[in-house]
Amino acid sequence: MMRRLRFFAVYAAALSFAVAAPVLAQSLGAAPLPQTTDQFRRADTRVKLATLRAMASRTVMPTAGNLVSIVQLALDDTAPEVRRNGCRVVTARMWHPRSSSSSAGVDAWRAEKAGLEPVKGLLLGLIRSDPDEVVRREAIIAAGNLDLELEPSDASRLPRVRISAELTAVLADAYRNEQDTAVRTEIVKSLSAARSESSRRSEVLVAALADVAPQVVQYAVLGVGDAQVKDALPTVVSYLQRHPEVRVRLAAAQSLAMYGAAAAPYLPALQEALAQESDPTTRKTIEGTIRVIQRVKRWL
Amino acid sequence: MRSTIAVFALLSLFLLPTTSRAQEGDLTYTVGWQAELGISYFGAAIWLRMWDDNWNLLDQDFNNGYEYASALVMADVHARNDSQSVHAGETIYWYWPEGYGWPPDLHEIGYIEDSASLPGAGPGSVTLSTDAFIPYNWVGDPLLLGLIYGGDDRGFSYYGGTSRISIVGDPYNPGINDGNWLLSPAAQAGLSEAYDLHTSLDNLPFLGGRLTQAARDDWDWGGDKKLAWAFGDIGDSGCDSYERLGDSIQAWTSSVRIRCHGYGANPVVPWPFSAFAPDIDWEFTLTLTFGFDQVQYVLDGSSDGYPSFELYLSGHPVLQQQDSGDPWDLVGWPDTPFYVAGQFSG
């Protein structure tokens, strides 16, 4: 009797497993994600997105060649969400420590950078002409991460990034034609925060001082200070005194501190702006800027 | 409701003129009623019934105690069940009692209307408050060692404290209002600050070092402690829809669906370190159902998993999602899901 019961128990368990296993496997996502270009090309959008996500989080490790090929396919896909996430894979793969006491992390960053270099052209193409604004924005972030080099820390302890003249030119051209505020913000933020040999950086930053969007102006103001664009100084001072957006006034105060001695003639304007300013953070920043300029003036 | 509609007049024909007009919304009903003398049939009852637009019976009342009453009084009630429909005219019929011919005839005998909110429709609005914050005193830059960022240094809290990015708005109760927002959703970004790890802590990092007051007060650009500060970029963060779902449970409840999303150009990291930094991302759909003196909610969405994320409805904690502890989660997708359902008294 017991033996018969045991037989039925085993039989029932086996039968249940046979019925449930495929369903379970599907629900757990046990189906392998594409690891080759052919598999990726044939996959539907949902699977493509899952694949890209896994590649970004490194839960799937295709060979270096397949990684690049799959990212290239993703950046060229007809579905904007696939292109978007192709960009995100590049950004995520480039997120290695860039400064470290041990060189292992930096070496890994450089190796990944070199490996993904072939997709740079596609990213620049997306910045130039992708119809989807989110794709254009993600492409800027991805291309920047792929392009940037670290400047050695200067005396002010600000580790800064530098981008190539090629990327600077692409961003400058894109700014001229860009209608979307978020994308223009990303362009100007990138050009203001990342230094470049190209004179087109300053050209765009000066043009962006007149942008209609305050978030764009904020970064332009910071950028002209960092690039020491002397002709832009009066505009920066006027923004400190009169701009309705606090973020722009704060940026203007910081920008004047970056100008240093060149901003010394505007100390009375700074005092005037301090007297008018109502935002506590901007007030403290203006006070700091006055101290910085006075200090530099004394040294001279 | 019964007490509201239990309006009868027996054995005489007259209207009950009322002129009051309450605020409007899905659960605002407009009822016309009529007392009808009609033909008196011994043993019949007087009814007052209320239907919605689809002729679902909302409620009924009748005077079982009156044996001499005869007429069936039908009040055609229109409770709005989508964002487009409006209160229709109310038409009153009387019903030929059972046993005196079939099918029954419906005779329009005029109407008068009144409107009011259904009792228990809930509060006029709720305050939706959501934000992302760093619970620690500071966090390190995952890419540039030696660079740290000021945190919000707090736990989950509806009141007070700073945050990296927040959205506050007051959606209306759709049951009793025709508008969408009492206060339109407004996004704000906190001040992000970058510090030099080596000069800004009062102790070694691994011994629980905290940002010194001197570092906090260093507002000189190019100083040796606070290296940069800026208001984060809130981008197009906000709630961009207010979708009326109409009424349900025989028009006793009314629902609204709100979609919100947030992205900030990494409000943890100020310029110039924010160059090519990934955004902070989150998105959710919040469904609110008002009625029975309660507000029911279903929150369905996802965030980056970093930093911490919280959401309150009129101070009631709906979601308190602890951060993953890993700033690297900012890279990529908002793939830390959350789903919460619950209710609180209005």
pLDDT in tens, B145-180: 788 999 999 999 998 789 988 999 999 988 888 889
Residues of B in contact with A91 (CB under 8 A): 276, 278, 331-332
**Contacts with B274 from chain A: Cβ below 8 Å:** 189, 193
Whether pLDDT at A202 is above 60: yes
Range in A79-88, A155-164, A281-290 the model is least confident about: A155-164
Does A176 have pLDDT greater than 90? yes
pLDDT-based confidence at residue A3 (cuts at 50, 70, 90): very low
Q: What is the pLDDT of residues B295-325, one digit of tens each?
A: 999 999 998 888 899 999 999 999 999 988 7
Is the CB of residue B65 less than 8 Å from the CB of residue B6? no
Higher pLDDT, residue B331 or B108: B331
CB count within 10 Å of CB B308 equals 25
Check whether B201 has a pLDDT greater than 90: yes
Residue B133 forms beta bridges with which residues?
B308
Spatial contact of A95 and B142, defined as CB atoms under 8 Å apart: yes
pLDDT digits (tens, 9 = 90+) for A74-108: 999 999 999 999 999 999 888 776 665 567 777 88
> What average pLDDT does the structure give for chain B?
71
ipTM, two decimals, is 0.83
Residue B207, min C-alpha distance to chain A (Å): 20
Q: Check residue A101 and give its pLDDT.
A: 54
* Predicted local distance difference test score (pLDDT) of residue A107: 82
Comparison of pLDDT for B39 and A189, the residue scoring more: A189
Residue B226's pLDDT is: 94
Amino acid at B213: Q
Smallest CA–CA distance from B189 into chain A, residue: A247
A-chain residues near B235 (CB < 8 A):
182, 185, 215
Give percent of chain B above pLDDT 90. 30
Name the residue type at position B56.
Answer: N
Cβ contact A148–B275 (<8 Å): yes
Residue-wise pLDDT tens digits, B3-36? 223 333 322 223 333 323 334 556 655 443 333 3
For residue B271, list chain A residues with Cβ-Cβ distance below 8 A: 189, 192-193, 219, 222, 251
Q: Is the pLDDT of residue B60 over 80?
A: no
Residue A128 has pLDDT above 50, yes or no: yes
Q: What does pTM read for this prediction?
A: 0.76
More confident of the two residues B345 and A31:
B345
A17-26, A54-63, B159-168: least confidently modelled range: A17-26
Q: How confident is the model at residue A187 (pLDDT cuts 50, 70, 90)?
A: very high
The pLDDT assigned to A99 comes to 61
H or E element, residue B214: helix B213-216
- Closest-CA distance of chain A to residue B176, Å: 37
The pLDDT value given to residue A300: 66
Q: Which residue of A has its CA nearest to B237?
A: A182
DSSP letters, chain A, are: -HHHHHHHHHHHHHHHHHHHHHHHHHHTT-SPPP-SHHHHHHS-HHHHHHHHHHHHTTSS---HHHHHHHHHHHHT-SSHHHHHHHHHHHHHHT-S-SB-SSHHHHHHHHHHHHHHGGGHHHHHHHHHH-S-HHHHHHHHHHHHHHH-EEPPP-TT----EEE-HHHHHHHHHHHHH---HHHHHHHHHHHHHEEES-THHHHHHHHHTT-SSHHHHHHHHHHHHHTT-GGGHHHHHHHHHH-S-HHHHHHHHHHHHHHGGGGGGGHHHHHHHHHH---HHHHHHHHHHHHHHHHHHHH-
Largest CA distance in chain A: 104
Using DSSP bridges, classify how beta strands B280-291 and B253-264 pair: parallel, antiparallel or unpaired.
antiparallel
Residue A138's pLDDT is: 93
Q: What is the mean pLDDT of chain A?
A: 86
Residues of B in contact with A140 (CB under 8 A): 276
B179 close to B172: Cβ distance less than 8 angstroms: yes
Contact B221 A258 (CB under 8 A): yes
From chain B, which residues contact A within 8 Å (Cβ)?
A: 142-147, 191, 196, 218-224, 227-231, 233, 235-236, 265, 271-278, 328, 331-333, 335
Report the gap between the CA of B311 and the closest CA in chain A (Å): 26
CB-side neighbour CA atoms (13 Å) of B189: 26
- Please tell me the distance from the alpha carbon of residue B175 to that of residue B296, in angstroms, as a whole number: 13
CB contact under 8 A, A57 and B146: no
Per-residue confidence (pLDDT) for residue A18, from 0 to 100: 43
Average pLDDT on A253-280 reads 96
